[in-house]
Amino acid sequence: MQKFSKFLIGLGILAGIVVVGILIGWWGSREKPSPPVSQPVEARRSTASAVPSPLSLTSSPSMELAGGRTSTPPANTMAATIATTNLAANWEDKLDDILGSDDDDTNKVKQLYEMFPRLGEEGQVEVAQHLSNLVPDENYTQLGQLLQKAKLPESVLDVLMSDVLNRPNSVKLPALLQVAQNADHPKAEEAKDLLELYLDEDDPAKWPQRMQEWLKENPD
């Protein structure tokens, strides 16, 4: 009887060990991580195509403006800049070509006016001198407009002032009056002195009326 009891106890311990081993195995199977699911090839391709390449962000030469608009610099901007630079560097050759051509004076004057604003001070002085010689009194209006430009270099204005003083009174006095009335003009004081001398009048407010009277008394 005692032996049989020991046998049952041993059998119970063995059964317990088996049960514990089964529980440990079951618990270990739950802790194993699931293998990662492989992303389909097409999905990976679509994801990659959605990412912009660095090249696509910088390949366009246009500039973004407000409101989502874009602006591309004009293609002729660089060409115009180069042409202006070349003219400024080679203006003497260009001037010689114009003056030595077989064109009539009207065409030469037109070309001189066109190149004048693109020149430096030295070139403008030279061109102003040739314009003074080529522009007739009856076509003085455009040359007179240059004289009124107060921001031109004073050396250029000296040439234009000398020119207008050699023009007929009907051209000279109105041009001087315009210069005198512009307080910002470098030649304003000189023009005032000349008007006082010609009109024999110290009051600038009376110069327009006095000039008309003087011109009637002193026709060209």
pLDDT tens for the chain, 220 residues long, are 555 555 556 555 655 565 556 656 655 555 444 444 445 444 444 444 444 444 443 444 444 455 555 555 555 555 555 555 555 678 999 999 999 999 999 999 999 999 999 999 999 999 999 999 999 999 999 999 999 999 999 999 999 999 999 999 999 999 999 999 999 999 999 999 999 999 999 999 999 999 999 999 988 8
Is residue 127 domain-resident? yes
For residue 66, what are its two tokens?
A: 């407000």
Domain final position from 112, 134, 156: 134
In the chain, how many domains are there? Answer: 2
Is residue 104 domain-resident? yes
**Containing structural domain, residue 97:** 79-134
Is residue 69 domain-resident? no
Is residue 53 domain-resident? no
Domain final position from 134, 155, 172: 134
Are residues 145 and 214 located together in one domain of the fold? yes
- Total-model pTM: 0.62
Is residue 3 domain-resident? no
